[in-house]
Structure 1
Amino acid sequence: MIFHRLEFEAFMAYPKREVIDFDALNEAGIFLLNGPTGSGKTTVLDAICYALYGMPSSERDIGSLYSTHVPPGEIKPHIFLELSIQNRRLRIDRTPAYRRLITRGKNKGTPTLENPQALVSELISGRDPQDEQSWRKAAEGMADSADYLTKLIGLNREQFLKVMLLPQGQFADFLKARSKDRIPLLKQLFPVDTYEQVMNRLREEEQISERAVQDIKHALDRTLEQTVTTYTKLCERLSRSGTDLDDNKNIVDAQEREVSEAYTKLDLATDLETARHDFEGWFTEHLHAVRRQEQQDEHALADLKDKREKLAAQQQDIAQRIQDWTEYEKLQSAWVRHESQEEEHKKQCRTLSNSRAAAPVEAELERSRRDEERRMHAAEHAQDTLNMARSSASQALEALGDCTEHLEASLYRIDTAQDLQRVLNQAPSVMAQLRVYQHDEQALEEAKAALTALKRDSEKAQRTVEGIAKRELQSQQKLSDISKRLSSLHDIEQNYARAQLALETAKKTQQEVAAHAEKLEQAQTAHDQAVQAYELIQRVSITASEEYTRLQKRRLEQVAFTLAKELDEGQPCMVCGSREHPQPAQPSVNGITLVEQSEIDAAEKRAHREQQKASAAATSVAQTQTVLEQLNESHMPDSQEAQRQVAEAQNVYNQTQESLENKREAQHQQEKETLELQKILEEQTRARTSLTQLQTQQASEQQTLTKLEKKLCQVAATISFADRVRLLESYVEQAHRAVDASRRLDDATISAAESAHQAQQSLERSVFETFEAVQQAVLTEVQQQHLEQAISAYREEHATLQASLDRPAMCTVATLIEHGQKAPSQEELTRIRQERDNVEQQYETLMTREGIRTNGIETLESLFQDYQEQQGESAHAVEQANLYAGLASIARGDNPDKNHQIDLVSYVLGGEFEQVLQVASEHLQRMSDNRYRLVLSDKREKRARIGGGLSISVEDNWNNDQREVNSLSGGESFLASLSLALGLAEVVQARNGGIEIETLFIDEGFGTLDAQTLELVMETLENIRENGRVIGLISHVEDMKERISAQVSIEKRQNGSTLRVNV
């Protein structure tokens, strides 16, 4: 990496534009950055680091990089760096975050925060760097630029500061630091991620294997406990299920004692094999005891099973005998009762037989009675029918009145039944003639009605024609009015479209205005909240920074006072090298309060963290301010104006819409009236045609009416022909009924005589003497069913009782009774049943014990198998745990079998660090006239439990001994620190082929060196320069000004610093 040009403006201590031409300084090889304390020498390094990484080299808040000597927003801060990296020439333009004043809008004059910006450009190969067209963009934005440059350089910011920029005191601290404090830097420069992963993996495997051993041990313990518990519970259950609890109690107590002793012994055993052997012996012994008891129970079960079967047979035999005896006694009682009902059964059979014999005679007698009743009914009906016929004839003659001379009058004159037949013979011809006249009479009435209807229709049609003519005139008048309205609304469609478009435009504008106002309000709220948050965070950041500055100042006072106490008159100061001490540091009035470095570090971290929060808050303020300005600068009309435009457009739109609706309504009315006029004209034509037809029909109907009146006047009567036909039809119907009734009466008389003769013959053939005896013997159907059921039930009961008594069991009981034996007693059956129940209970008890024992043995064998499997797993797990524990212990460096307890990462870093110390010793030997040499020590530091491997010792060749680096004087410490920094830079470059370190900045205290030592240091730096490197020294020592001609001189003024380059 070679720097060519650096520019910065309004940056920290420099208010104006400053330019450093590094090309001229690179030619010199060594240059001096010189200036008084606090003038801004380190700011140059801050500018270089900020250009590369977007962060200064010091722990300064990136939000406070704007020069305090320039009014806010007056000058835009700017950092420009041109450099070469890996044969690429780059330009870096960065602008830190700063506050500027808003120049437009309602927030004009309000400060706003501008976000930082970054641009990286690369020179096109072979092009002139002075030509702006020769550069192309390589990266843009803070994040992208930082990523691009970090990958290209090969170092992050922290590595860069340790290798290329050597700030004040940091390598002196690194030189005298404890081993554990050197590890973070060395891990940054020499990646050891793989070794850390190995350590973490070994630690994880160690923990996993330890947990596995513990899990298996717990599983073994649980299995042992379950086995012993299972055996104990098995003994208890077997004891409770036994028949003699007192005899088994001592056995169970002894077994429990054995189990307890065995479990205690297994719990105390530490050797797995011994524990397994003891457990197997105990398990085998007690399992055999359980199986012996099982064999005894099996023999007892066989005996109980035989006894149970014998008692069951005896119980069944006695119970069956008792049941048969009881059943026989019941059957005997039923047989006696059945025999007592025999006479009643015979009587029922005789009654049923007589009833069945009387049934045919009763049927003939009933038929004769019914025939006589039908004859009497037919005689009454015939007389009634004849009377009705006479009455109908009388009514007909009365209805005809004076019209007896007409053709049908003679038919109604009847006196006897013979006249009815005459009427029936003459009535058809008379009826036909009457129907002809009836038809003519109906036609006459219809003609009169038709003529009347035609007259009404003609009058109506005439009125319709006149009304249609009026409607035609009105419709033509309406069409004329509608045409006039349509002519006045000729251009209304175009006006409506324009009004609709104007309304939509106005509404859209109103919505945009409302949305803009809402966005503006939200942006203003967000900006106010961001400003409040920024001010709050800024106050916290300032407080944290002041606290850090206060602690640092107290620490410096403490160090200064400590150094002042060690000053000897005439001896050079370790800080500035002066031999005169006119005003050594004195304690304050309140004394020196001790401040630990850890407090300063914690305060520094807090300050840095709060500065980062302030920077993020400032970025948020800038973003919200930008959004707010953009919204304010947008040209949007006023909301009231937009509302007024919408109202006007809506009014015009409503008017045009109303006019358009009127036009459409008029067009619809025009179409409707046109159709209506056509209908009226068609209706008028139809009405006139209908009127002509009605008039023609009226004349025709009048002629028909005249003809019918002439024809009917000869046979007209008081009543109509229809009524005369109806009377005649009714009379003929009554005559037919009378004739039929007379015929039915004759038939009924003949049938009644025949039925009486048949009934008498049936009585003579039967066993009965009179009809009264027949009626007494006859039973109803219900009575017969009851008798049949009673007879059938008696016969079925007889057969059932006989079959039951004939069964072998009943015959056996009868035989026993004949021999004088008695029925078996219930007490004997109860005794057998109780004896069987006792045997059954004993059998069930033994079966329950067998089930308990079988399940217990299966469980014990399963647990024993689990124990054996767990024993095998435990041996493998212990072996794995010992292996990983040993490897992890070696990696951690706490293995007691090793002399040097160094962890793996420290060991690997020690190898790299040893290379650094070898190169650093070469520089230190030249600068110390071959007196000092830095060596790596594996000695453990005080109060360190483990570690080592990164300690530094100093070999003093003049005194031929080794001593601690803390024993070096101020000048010696400077030489050692410088040598260590140079060695670290060279080794890092050698280890990483892509890293180029051509430029080195050293910001160390040269004031602690005497003239001779300073000469040696300069010779060493000259050797480094001759190897192609450029070295920039930062110092205010006067001797350095005289030795180095190429200088960047900084002048500190009241209004800010300025610099100039002297080559």
Structure 2
Amino acid sequence: MRLHRLEVAAFGPFSGVEAIDFDALSDAGLFLIQGRTGAGKTSVLDAVCFALYGQVPGVRNAVKGLRSDHAPPGAGPRVVLETTVRGRRLRITRSPAWERPKLRGSGTTTEHAKVVLEEFEHGAWTGLTTRLDEAGDLVSRLLGMNAVQFCQVAMLPQGEFAGFLRAGADERRRVLERLFAAEVFTQVEKWLADRRAATGREAAELGAAAASVADRIAETTGAAPPRGERPAVPQPRRGEPAAEPFAEVEALPAWAAELAGGHQDICATMEELRAGVTETLRAAREALDDAKALAARQRTHAEAVARRDALAGRAEEKSRMASRLDAAARADRVVPLVKDVRERHGRAVQARRWAEETRSKVAALLPPKAPEDVLAKAERDRRDEAAALEGMRAAAARLRDVERQREELAGELRRLEPDDARTAAALDELPGLVQARRAELDEARAAAAGRSGAEAAVRDARRRLDAAHRRDRVEVLLAEAEEAQRAAVDAAQEARDRAQELRQTRLDGMAAVLAAELADGEPCRVCGSTEHPAPVASLAVVPSEDEVERAQAAYERAQERREKQTGEVESRRSERDQLLEAAGDAAAEALAAELAEAEEAFEAAAARAAEADLLENAVHRLEGDLDQARDDRDRVSRRLTEIRTRDGELAAERTRLAADLDRARGGDATLEERIARLAREAAALGEAAEALRASGRADEELAAARAKAAQEAAEQGFRTPDEVDEAAMPDEDQGVLRDRIRQLDDAEAQVRALLKDPELIAAAAAPAPGLPALEAAVRAAEAAHTEAASAADRARHRRDRLAELRERLAAAVAGWRPAAERHEVAERMAGLASGKHTANRHAMSLSAYVLAARLEQVVAAANERLSRMSGDRYALVHTTGKAAGDRTKGAGGLGLRVADAWTGLERDPVTLSGGESFITSLALALGLADVVTAEAGGTEIGTLFVDEGFGTLDEETLDEVMDVLDGLRDGGRAVGIVSHVAELRARIPAQLRVTKDRTGSTAKVVV
């Protein structure tokens, strides 16, 4: 960025319009902005910054009102800056908000801030925007830096870097945060802190869930949780990392396992008790069962004897049923073959019927009783012909497409023919209309030519009328002023006479005044004598010196009023003469009539001018219609020719396609009908051939089935199928007979077994048992067993419930552990990023670490210049340790020390002298400017300003500093030094001199 020209008006200390040619100053490379303290040297830099960003640097931006207090009431503040940024020549005109006098009435009104941004292109200024936000955004994007960064890079500020050099880490961090984009790292710190809180809440919730399961375990078992309370959820205090959370949750699984072991022992004890009562119950039940078994065996033996006698009478029935089952079994081997013969006979009859039906369908196509091969050949012939005709379908589709295109062309032809007639009619009519409207336009233009003269006449009449009104008013004011002047002359003359009279009276009585002041032994102020033999005495009143001075002051005031009134009369008389020259002696009423006539003439001329505009628009419209009609006629004619040509081509193609299709379809109505007929005939012939083949196969299968059935019937002892049907018996009936026989066999076997059973024989010989006593003993044992089993079931239920809750507790703790681990990781990362974790050895936050890296770059860039300016004595050292005055935790890493090569020690910057502090601060400022420029994208700053501080340097150090500043001019950069040091005025010939006086400051370029 290079500055070319700056113009300020009513801005800061500059009351008028001041233009500064920076091109002339920049040609020298190094120039001086000099002037007395408070003259406005820094205001020049404020104007540059305000033009670019709409604000002034530093704390001055908080001061409201940039308008000059010395400027006239109606003069608006304005800054105009011409500069080149990235090869683009820009002109920025800005005005701050200010209070201007109202145009009507008294008081003020607010004039809002304004901006005009222009670019010099193709030899002229082109407006880019007048919006404040758009202008600021464009400048910031071109320069690649915001206002704070620009002021730090291009305007090394007065005193600020000495403060930055000596500042603590907190203040130094705030400065660096304004210059470098560290917000993203601060956001990372906040995100990690939020993540730590979120994972803490998640782990707390999961830990509470595990504690809830532990409560249910305690409720189930009647035991208390660890320490007799729910696991605590630790809450970290604000600004501190949380202590190790949820340690109690880890103890819950072991506690539950201990409870499970105890309940396992209880279950074992209850099971032993239940086993004892169960054994007693078993013994009682065995005794009862033995008695019941003896009684049952006695009954069984008696019943077996009775059943043996009954079964002996059913032997003949059993023999008949066995014979019937044997015949049915032999018939079962033949029945399937007989059924198969009948089924195949039915299928053979059905096949012969299908063959007859299909042959009747193709009777018209082939001779009667045609064999199978003839039918198959006829089918193949028709399918081959249909396949050949498939290729003609594309020709049929093309014929339909040709007919469709011809219909579309006919429709378009019907649509275009009226358009052709319409455009022909328009071409006949429009030329005459154009000629008529043009004649009317010429007449209107001739009548409107006098509008400018009429307008000038209106302005002249209005000016004369305004002058006449003012003339009449000024004459009244002049009469009043002349009257006041006469009164002031009289008053001044009277005051003059009074003052002269008092002065003369005091002169006349001065001897008496001096005599009154004489004292014996004191020298006389006139003759010096200490003797006063005859002092003068006066009887008249001598005015005092105060009275004479008061009279003189009254005279001077009266004289001032006289001069003021005289000036007022002269001013009014001069104004009246000018108004008489403008308005003449004509009365205001006559001039008003002249104005009305002039306005009426102007309105008539304006009306004719408006009519001429309308006629001109009408002529243009008609000419456009005429050109359009010609274009439409040409277009429609071309299209009609194209349509007729294309229709002829399509007609020829249609004739050819229709002839081909007629030959292909033969005697059928259409090609599709012929293809469909051939397909139907081929299908019918194929079906007839298939039916004939199926009938032959059915007859062969029927003969084979009959032979096989006859052979099997003979082998099973049957002569005819009827005998087989008579002997056959359904499976259900055979099953019934077999069940009856088996039941009789089983009953006989059971009876024989029972009668041979030694136990039944012995039981029949034994006495009957006593069952009531044994049943009472069993009931008592069952009651004891029920009570023991209930207690064992309750213990087992608690054990099972505890096992289930242990699984849920294990799952809850397993779900809690990853959350606790995530919280531990999040807590560690948040602590590392904030500098509050012990693993962060430097106790530096992430944003402070990034800023420390930037500061390290600044120090490296600064030391390149500090070494030259200090004669290789001093070098800045960046330290990561926390300074004694830094109160914010995690804000380390921004310390600065000064290494002294003469002593080999490092010093605190506050121990530097004024001149040493200046060169160190200047080197730091230049280094920071380099780093910020690189950070902002490397935007080249062609004009650089250094503000004050040179008065603290000795001559040798000043030479070194000037050499460094002179080196900044490399690459064509211009450096402006703001200072009032006299020695610099002699060293730097190119100067911008800012001068102040009571009416405001002025600026002058001296090269």
Quickly name the TM-score band, shorter chain normalised.
0.3 to 0.5
Superposition TM-score, scaled by structure 1 size = 0.43
Larger radius of gyration, structure 1 or 2? 1
